[in-house]
Structure 1
Amino acid sequence: MSGQHKHDDAWRKSSFSGGQTNCVEFRRTPDGVEVRNSKRPDAGTVAYTDSEWKAFIAGVKNGEFDI
């Protein structure tokens, strides 16, 4: 994720969800990323800045959230 990102109305979820509805989805916004519960899409979203999202993705890739 580098450079400028355009707004993207398309919600995306991980290919690891296996088509389940019990997962989170995300989409790009002009200011960063929004995340929502795919099971309750009308319940609201949580917004993250680009730097917050990049830090989260880096942590995932580094295994910081592995149980």
Structure 2
Amino acid sequence: MTANIPWSERRTSSFSDGANTCVEVAHGPSVVGVWDTKHRESGPIVVPRARWAAFVARLKD
């Protein structure tokens, strides 16, 4: 599932303080990968795009 995520195109949170205490996100065709930059060795959490969109919408509410 993680093979179709363009890892090199991941984006850092706009709330990042530049000290590796942020979240990075990469969008693939059907899934999204999310990293905690303090624990990169754990790898990304991968979720379906629809679930990620619902999560982000809920945060904005």
Fold equivalence (TM over 0.5): yes
Q: What amino acid maps onto 1:22 in structure 2?
A: T
Counterpart for residue 54 of structure 1: 53
Q: Distance in 2 between matches of 1:22 and 1:44?
A: 15
Larger Rg: 1
| TM-score after normalising by structure 1 | 0.69
> Which of 6, 11, 16 is residue 8 of structure 1 equivalent to?
6
Is the aligned partner of 1:35 residue 2:34?
yes
- Contact 2:31–2:46 (8 Å) recurs in 1: yes
Q: What amino acid maps onto 1:53 in structure 2?
A: W
Of 10-19 and 48-57, deviating more is 10-19
> Aligned to 2:6, what secondary structure does the other structure show?
coil
- The structure with the largest helix share of the pair is 2
Unaligned segments of structure 2, at least 5 residues: none
Unaligned segments of structure 1, at least 5 residues: 1-5, 63-67
| TM-score after normalising by structure 2 | 0.74
RMSD: 1.8
- Residue 40 of structure 1: how far off its partner (Å): 2.5
Counterpart for residue 65 of structure 1: none
Give the number of the structure with larger relative contact order, counting CA–CA contacts within 8 Å between residues 6 or more apart. Answer: 2
